[in-house]
Chains A and B, each alone.
Chain A
């Protein structure tokens, strides 16, 4: 069974924000909401690294755990989605998410916080697949069209990989073996500590 996953190759990401633009265009994301962002560490310092970040569709999603109205659900493909008809816009999910994925469109005179909006892995939501209602609430359902997320397919350097976790791992592993480096940012060392992981490059301000 396919388990959908994202990974961003920090050795390849050039901070072009093509993924952000592709996402906004494909899903017609509301003004003020970015489902995906590019984060750069040590910006301007030689050796800076960028990664593209959105909802990581966690296997044990904190947003799902804290939601007081239980609007989240996980599909068989491992994509974390939510029902905007149930969401009350409380914002708990945004505090729980370590990636800042949940976004809230501000609307009205006092900037009232609306229903939560986040990356759907281009899998729409709980409406008829490919329907206008689904598009207006959640964006395009590219998975049901036999496609992959627009951000990854539009990535000019193929830094952002998306799809079945097994295939993502195969592609990334092959790259690392071919070039002989670049597994430091994502991997065992980052999660559990190693000498080289997470170290600032020489000359950095930190």
Chain B
């Protein structure tokens, strides 16, 4: 009797293993790509000089200076 049950055991394991194919695939919504941070710089020849690529504070400071130079004429006239 016991030997018969032991003989069925591999068949049972195979059946359980076969059921794993019925598991539902994950359907999580979301990004499959991650956007690089802008302070990491662009891979082209149009990057303006004056800031250090990869340094966030340097990038932010560069943009602030650029804003004052290009968008605030009061800083030039007054």
* Residues in chain A within 8 A of chain B (CB atoms): 1-2, 69-70, 73, 75-77, 81, 83, 85-86, 123-131, 140-141, 143-148, 152-153, 158, 161-164, 167-168, 171, 174-175, 178
B10-42 to A contact mask, C-beta < 8 Å, 1/0: 000000000000000000011111111111111
Q: Which of B28-78 contact A (CB under 8 A)?
A: 29-44, 46-48, 50-51, 59-60, 62-64, 66-68, 70-74
Main secondary structure of the interface of B (DSSP, over half): loop
B38 to A: closest C-beta gap in Å: 4
Of A145, A152, A178, the residue contacting B47 (CB under 8 A) is A145
- On whether A73 and B31 interact (CB within 8 A), knowing A141-B42, A148-B63, the answer reads yes
Which bracket fits the contact residues of B? 20 to 34
**Complex interface: chain A residues within 8 A of B68 (CB):** 167, 171
Contact assessment for B44 and A145 in the assembled complex, using a CB-CB cutoff below 8 Å: yes
Contact assessment for A171 and B66 in the assembled complex, using a CB-CB cutoff below 8 Å: no
Contact assessment for A171 and B71 in the assembled complex, using a CB-CB cutoff below 8 Å: yes
**Complex interface: chain A residues within 8 A of B63 (CB):** 2, 143, 146, 148, 163-164
Q: For A69, A125, A126, which residue has the most chain B Cβ atoms within 10 angstroms?
A: A126
A162 to B15, CA, bound (A): 63
Of B30, B41, B74, the residue contacting A129 (CB under 8 A) is B41
Contact assessment for B42 and A144 in the assembled complex, using a CB-CB cutoff below 8 Å: yes
A147 to B65, CA, bound (A): 10
Main secondary structure of the interface of A (DSSP, over half): loop
A85 to B: closest C-beta gap in Å: 7
**Complex interface: chain B residues within 8 A of A175 (CB):** 74
Cβ contacts A to B, 8 pairs, < 8 Å: A81-B35, A145-B41, A145-B44, A145-B46, A146-B51, A148-B67, A153-B70, A163-B67
Contact assessment for A171 and B72 in the assembled complex, using a CB-CB cutoff below 8 Å: yes
Contact assessment for B43 and A129 in the assembled complex, using a CB-CB cutoff below 8 Å: yes
Which 8 pairs across A and B sit closest by C-beta, in order of nearness?
A130-B42, A144-B42, A143-B38, A70-B29, A130-B44, A126-B33, A146-B48, A144-B38
